[in-house]
């Protein structure tokens, strides 16, 4: 069942009922100011950091779900309604929500009055614009009252929820004409405030929640709206809000537009006040001035559209399969940008009060957006690397506001360092900018410890080499990519976090996933060393990679697949000898991507085992059989009910590793089948089961052991976005940036006849037409560059500005 449809021409998903199986959301903003908005206009806004600079309050896990947002109430005679259905929930005559690129349009109609609200965050601006268009489609004059509502968060979103003994006394506001200011804590250590403005005179306002809603009422029936009259309340402590009241008259056929503006302002510490106790509004007035008319707002909206148009024009596919095209050309790239912006910090699942930017997450995310915004990718790499320790280890997370490593979480996730090699080499292959390697980058955020970025990669490589266990395989530390495989944790205390507890410090548990990862990115490191003439470093590194391959073959093969790990006691994890968790996906992915034992057929066999034991109708599960009991020496993985999350859920992030493994051995039909199973556009028809948005990937789809297999959770902020984008474009469609050109190496279903990719790469345009008359999965028989036959499958770099046509014949 569907709850809307894709409108590809407008790059929108159009939701046609407010009652989606879960709130279906969108993200507004790309740089400093962000908003999340659901299809009923729920959600919240923040500046840079969802925890430390939360502007508006949101109630997670609320009843009803998705409670709180930017709400409008329209009082039209006896009927009160909201354009996005919620919070009033009056049944609308018409409803539509269009989630587009950085904007959302919500339209409701009731009794001949149409209200459309366009929400977006203009480029380079610290505000959310809400353009409301009211149209009287009836043949009578309409006299209505329009109330807005926004609830302020007291800045620190975590403290806001639990420090009520203080917070109920500190709320402060100011009102000036049509602008309602939120200035809690401004007089002490905060040099920032927020405001909510409308570009029209108002007939009333409220800033105190209890006055507006009434103590025993809900968002759906605020007292002020019922009474049809604002109380002009000023909040003193308690919960500050911002609500305007506008009395509006519309003739038949008439339309009126209003611009509401939620803004954020920072002032210099010594220029905070206009007069004693009155905030300096100069910057607020400037911001308001920028967006105080429909014309200005429309111009900003056009700018936003061309911004996205430009980004998406860098790589487009025309495959003849509209679902594939819309993922590659629109939604998958869009999701990659959202994960670039927010990592795992703020969604309806990641509540934005705990997690910062993950070291491994942010490095992996980079492969999904580096082609779009290389300069920002560079900055991101440096930010991440600056939190690395001198021994190559890393803080697991850092806070986006301070860019410092997060002490509370610490480090010791031994896969972390290697992802820095992935991101940095992906960046150089895309841009050709080797200068990043010479840039001085601090260790542990300490400038006095800065070294050229290359030294960070070297430290990453040697962190693995210097942390090997009894089988000469990498020590796992707290966990590897699988945060829940906590082999040194041994927790019996429910108040301990599996992520931060390591009761058996210096344990010798080893990871086959890190082993495979090390072979892949160790080779990448060596390759880079050769490329930049660091032959000595390359020669120094090579034996370690060779030794790892041998260690995997000797100690990591279980007979039909790769083991997952050795536990604290040196016992096998992910072996046929185990009763539960006999086989895991991650080591099959990384060891086949590394091509371990390809000559002996190990890769084929491992992937066949994946097909047999882990593949399901809805994707590849993480392990099998699922754990049904808590295993002290395995940790969190065995805590989840069977079929969910890391315990045999379909953890979408790692499915592409298997897909890449399949492409390495040339099984294009299998690769594509796996891809389609988790790709959201192909799941639109089962939205009632899948539940989350059909336009973005979710972190997890419930596995075959779950109560409801196929049900997805945790949409949006997941490494799935970048890995799937990377996999479809670089390994299935097969267009792969290299240091010296574009490699063409498709691995596709036999029945695909042809597709075209347009790629901008280092300033030149490449139109690549792939023909598969021969009906093969992989292999190229002929490659023409501007009519000239090329040897091999790498298109050398062409002159900046040139337009090049490449015709590829497979066979
Ligand atoms: C979450 C984390 C990621 C981890 C994965 C598997 O997505 O953000 O860091 O690798 O779970 O546990
Ligand atoms: C839980 C989740 C995992 C996530 C981790 C860190 O363990 O299962 O997916 O990565 O928390 O927050």
In sequence order, which residues have a C-beta less than 8 Å from that of residue 430 and are 6 or more positions away?
A: 370, 371, 374, 377, 737, 761
Atom of ligand 2 nearest to the CA of 483: 10
Residue 17 confidence (pLDDT) above 80: yes
Q: What integer pLDDT is reported at residue 489 of this predicted model?
A: 95
C-alpha separations of 430 from 185, 332, 634, 760 in Å? 45, 18, 39, 10
The string of pLDDT tens digits covering residues 160-202 is 999 999 999 999 999 999 999 999 999 999 999 999 999 999 9
How confident is the model over 486-514, as a mean pLDDT? 93
C-alpha to C-alpha distance for 291 and 298, rounded to whole angstroms: 9
Residue 410 confidence (pLDDT) above 90: no
**Per DSSP, which regions of 122-254 are E strands?**
127-136, 142-155, 173-176, 179-182, 192-198, 204-208, 240-250
The string of pLDDT tens digits covering residues 130-157 is 999 999 999 999 999 999 999 999 999 9
DSSP structure string for 122-134: -TT-SEEEEEEEE
Residue 92 gets which letter from DSSP?
A: P
How confident is the model over 365-393, as a mean pLDDT? 97
Q: What integer pLDDT is reported at residue 710 of this predicted model?
A: 98
* 646 Cβ closer than 6 Å to some ligand 2 atom: yes
Q: What integer pLDDT is reported at residue 506 of this predicted model?
A: 86
Task: Enter the tokens of residue 588.
Answer: 């099959």
Q: What integer pLDDT is reported at residue 765 of this predicted model?
A: 98
Q: What integer pLDDT is reported at residue 137 of this predicted model?
A: 98
Cα 31 to averaged position of ligand 2 atoms, centre (Å):
26
Atom of ligand 1 nearest to the CA of 718: 7
Q: What integer pLDDT is reported at residue 500 of this predicted model?
A: 87
The string of pLDDT tens digits covering residues 697-740 is 999 999 999 999 999 999 999 999 999 999 999 999 999 999 99
How confident is the model over 26-30, as a mean pLDDT? 96
Across the strands, what pairs with 12? 7
The string of pLDDT tens digits covering residues 278-315 is 999 999 999 999 999 999 999 999 999 999 999 999 99
- Give the residue, by CA position, lying nearest to ligand 2 atom 11: 483
Q: Checking phi first, is residue 780 left (phi over 0); if not, alpha (psi -120 to 50) or beta?
A: beta
* 350 Cβ closer than 6 Å to some ligand 2 atom: no
How confident is the model over 505-517, as a mean pLDDT? 95
Pocket test for ligand 2, best of 354, 646, 654, 699 (most atoms within 8 A of CB): 646
Cα 623 to averaged position of ligand 2 atoms, centre (Å):
16
Q: Which of 340-354, 530-544, 765-779 has the lowest mean pLDDT?
A: 340-354
Task: Enter the tokens of residue 284.
Answer: 């607020």
The residues annotated with a catalytic role in the active site are: 483
At 576, the pLDDT band (50, 70, 90 cuts) reads very high
Task: Enter the tokens of residue 306.
Answer: 């061309």
Atom of ligand 1 nearest to the CA of 479: 12
Q: What integer pLDDT is reported at residue 209 of this predicted model?
A: 98
What mean pLDDT is reported for the chain? 97
In 571-719, which residue ranges form alpha helices assigned H by DSSP? 585-593, 602-613, 655-664, 668-678, 687-690
Cα 717 to averaged position of ligand 1 atoms, centre (Å):
10
Pocket test for ligand 2, best of 484, 643, 701 (most atoms within 8 A of CB): 484
Q: What integer pLDDT is reported at residue 409 of this predicted model?
A: 82
Q: What integer pLDDT is reported at residue 400 of this predicted model?
A: 76
Cis amide leading into 625 (omega within 30) = yes
Residue 121 confidence (pLDDT) above 80: yes
Cα 504 to averaged position of ligand 2 atoms, centre (Å):
20
At 406, the pLDDT band (50, 70, 90 cuts) reads confident
Q: What integer pLDDT is reported at residue 408 of this predicted model?
A: 82
The string of pLDDT tens digits covering residues 228-242 is 999 999 999 999 999
At 545, the pLDDT band (50, 70, 90 cuts) reads very high
More confident residue, 673 or 406: 673
Q: Tell if the pTM clears 0.95, that is, is over it.
A: yes
Cα 483 to averaged position of ligand 1 atoms, centre (Å):
6
How confident is the model over 625-630, as a mean pLDDT? 98
C-alpha to C-alpha distance for 240 and 208, rounded to whole angstroms: 5
The string of pLDDT tens digits covering residues 256-272 is 999 999 999 999 999 99
Percent of the chain surpassing pLDDT 70? 100
Q: What integer pLDDT is reported at residue 345 of this predicted model?
A: 87
The string of pLDDT tens digits covering residues 439-474 is 999 999 999 999 999 999 999 999 999 999 999 999
Atom of ligand 2 nearest to the CA of 640: 8
Q: Which H or E run contains 464? A: helix 453-465
The string of pLDDT tens digits covering residues 596-627 is 999 999 999 999 999 999 999 999 999 999 99
Pairing between β-strand 764-771 and β-strand 803-810 as defined by DSSP bridges? parallel
């Amino acid at each position: 069942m569907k709850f809307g449809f894709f409108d590809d021409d407008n790059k929108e998903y159009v939701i046609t009922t407010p009652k989606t199986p879960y709130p279906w959301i969108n993200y507004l903003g790309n740089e400093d100011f962000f908003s999340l908005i659901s299809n009923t206009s729920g959600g919240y806004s923040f500046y840079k950091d969802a925890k430390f600079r939360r502007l508006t309050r949101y109630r997670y896990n609320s009843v009803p779900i998705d409670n709180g947002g930017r709400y409008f109430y329209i009082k039209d005679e006896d009927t009160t309604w909201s354009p996005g259905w919620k919070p009033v929930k009056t049944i609308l005559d018409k409803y539509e929500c269009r989630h587009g690129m950085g904007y959302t349009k919500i339209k409701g109609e009731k009794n001949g009055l149409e209200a459309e609200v366009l929400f977006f965050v203009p480029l380079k601006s610290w505000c959310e614009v809400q353009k409301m268009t009211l149209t009287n489609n009836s043949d009578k004059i309409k006299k209505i009252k329009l109330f807005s509502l926004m609830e302020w968060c007291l800045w620190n979103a975590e403290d806001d929820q639990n420090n009520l003994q203080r917070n109920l006394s500190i709320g402060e506001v100011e009102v000036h004409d049509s602008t309602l200011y939120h200035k809690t804590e401004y007089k002490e250590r905060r040099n920032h405030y927020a405001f909510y403005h409308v570009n029209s005179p108002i007939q009333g306002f409220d800033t105190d929640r209890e006055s507006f809603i009434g103590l025993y009422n809900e968002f759906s029936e605020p007292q002020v709206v019922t009474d049809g009259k604002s109380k002009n309340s000023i909040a003193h402590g308690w919960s500050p809000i911002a609500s305007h009241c506008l009395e509006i008259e519309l003739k038949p056929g008439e339309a009126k537009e209003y611009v509401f503006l939620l803004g954020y302002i920072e002032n210099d510490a010594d220029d905070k006040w206009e007069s004693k106790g009155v905030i300096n509004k100069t910057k607020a007035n400037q911001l308001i001035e920028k967006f105080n008319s429909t014309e200005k707002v429309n111009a900003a909206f056009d700018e936003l559209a061309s911004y996205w148009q430009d980004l998406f024009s860098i790589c487009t596919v025309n495959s003849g399969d509209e679902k594939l095209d819309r993922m590659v050309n629109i939604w998958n790239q869009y999701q990659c940008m959202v994960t670039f912006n927010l990592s795992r910090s703020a969604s309806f699942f990641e509540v934005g009060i705990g997690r910062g930017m993950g070291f491994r997450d942010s490095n992996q995310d980079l492969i999904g957006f580096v082609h779009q915004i290389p300069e920002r990718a560079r900055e991101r790499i440096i930010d991440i690397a600056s939190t690395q320790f001198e021994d190559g280890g890393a803080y697991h997370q850092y806070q986006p506001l301070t860019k410092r490593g997060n002490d509370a979480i610490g480090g010791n996730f031994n896969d972390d360092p290697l992802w820095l090699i992935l991101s940095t080499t992906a960046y150089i292959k895309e841009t050709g900018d080797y200068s990043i390697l010479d840039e001085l980058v601090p260790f542990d955020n300490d400038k006095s410890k800065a070294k050229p970025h290359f030294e960070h990669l070297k430290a990453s490589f040697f962190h693995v080499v210097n942390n090997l266990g009894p089988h000469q395989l990498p020590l796992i530390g707290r966990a590897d990519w699988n945060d829940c495989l906590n082999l040194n944790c041994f927790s019996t205390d429910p108040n301990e976090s599996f992520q931060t507890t390591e009761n058996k410090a210096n344990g010798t548990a080893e990871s086959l996933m890190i082993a495979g990862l090390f072979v892949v990115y160790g080779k990448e490191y060596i390759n880079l060393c050769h490329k930049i003439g660091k032959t000595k470093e390359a020669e120094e590194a090579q034996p370690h990679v060779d030794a790892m391959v041998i260690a995997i073959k000797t100690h990591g093969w279980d007979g039909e697949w790769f083991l997952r790990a050795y536990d604290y006691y040196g016992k096998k994890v992910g072996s046929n000898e185990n009763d539960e968790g006999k086989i895991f996906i991650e080591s099959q992915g990384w060891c086949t991507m590394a091509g371990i034992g390809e000559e002996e057929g190990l890769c084929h066999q491992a992937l066949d085992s994946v097909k047999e034991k882990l593949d399901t109708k809805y994707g590849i599960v993480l392990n099998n059989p699922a754990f049904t009991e808590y295993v002290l020496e395995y940790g969190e993985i065995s805590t989840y009910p069977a079929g969910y999350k890391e315990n045999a859920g379909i953890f979408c992030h790692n499915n592409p590793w298997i897909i890449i493994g399949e492409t390495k051995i040339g099984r294009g039909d299998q690769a594509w089948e796996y891809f389609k199973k988790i790709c959201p556009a192909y799941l639109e028809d089962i939205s009632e089961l899948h539940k989350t948005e059909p336009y973005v990937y979710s972190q997890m789809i419930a596995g075959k052991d779950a109560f409801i297999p196929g049900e997805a959770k945790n949409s949006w902020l997941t490494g799935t976005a970048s890995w799937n984008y990377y996999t479809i474009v670089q390994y299935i469609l097969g267009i792969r940036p290299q240091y010296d050109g574009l490699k063409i190496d498709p691995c596709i279903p036999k029945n695909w006849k042809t597709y075209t990719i347009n790629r901008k790469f280092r300033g030149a345009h490449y139109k690549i037409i792939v023909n598969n008359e021969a009906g093969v999965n992989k292999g190229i028989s002929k490659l023409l560059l501007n009519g000239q036959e090329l040897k091999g499958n790498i298109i050398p770099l062409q002159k900046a500005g040139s337009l090049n046509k490449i015709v590829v014949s497979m066979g």
